[in-house]
Amino acid sequence: MPYLVDGEDTVRERGAIIAYLTDAYPEAKLGPRPGETGRGAYLSWLFYYQGIMEPLIVLHWAGLNHPAVTASLRDLDTMHDRLKDGLARGTWLLGERFSAADMLCSSPFVWFPDLMPEDPKIRDWVIRCTERMGAEPS
């Protein structure tokens, strides 16, 4: 379980940890601050990862499929379409601004390259993210 201890504060879950850190360290410029343009989209992507992407990926990995899952979370193809829709507005999920949301949402494709769709828009984005983070693309 992702868990951060910062002095007296403790934070659980990836999206919450990332929001906490990007708010605590705004000089890194990895997330829009409260009141800044793009803040809503940024938080939406963090929570989309946590609430939709990660469960879909785990269920796919476990080989579990059920109509209740596809009725609520949808499927990997729909997840890929959502990412493509987000990337239709620019280079990154927030348009022309790279953020921790790009880091988080691209990470499963780096860890599990077999999940990477054939779509060049997503593939190019994952490559840009890994290059920006100094990681090796798969």
What's the pLDDT at 134?
Answer: 85
Is the pLDDT score of 137 beyond 80?
Answer: no
- CATH number (1.20.1050, 3.40.50, 1.10.760, 1.10.3470) of 38-133 reads 1.20.1050
Spatial CA neighbour of 104 closest among 32, 21, 45: 45
Q: What is the rounded distance in angstroms from the CA atom of residue 117 to the CA atom of residue 73?
A: 18
Among residues of the chain, what percentage have pLDDT more than 90?
Answer: 94
What's the pLDDT at 115?
Answer: 93
Mean pLDDT of the chain: 95
Q: How confident is the model at residue 1 (pLDDT cuts 50, 70, 90)?
A: confident
Phi-psi region at 29: left, alpha or beta (left = phi > 0; alpha = psi -120 to 50): left
Angle value at C-alpha 12, between 7 and 16, nearest 5 degrees: 95
Is the pLDDT score of 110 beyond 90?
Answer: yes
Whether pTM > 0.85 for this model: the answer is yes
Is the pLDDT score of 135 beyond 80?
Answer: no
Per-domain residue ranges of the chain: 38-133
Is the pLDDT score of 60 beyond 70?
Answer: yes
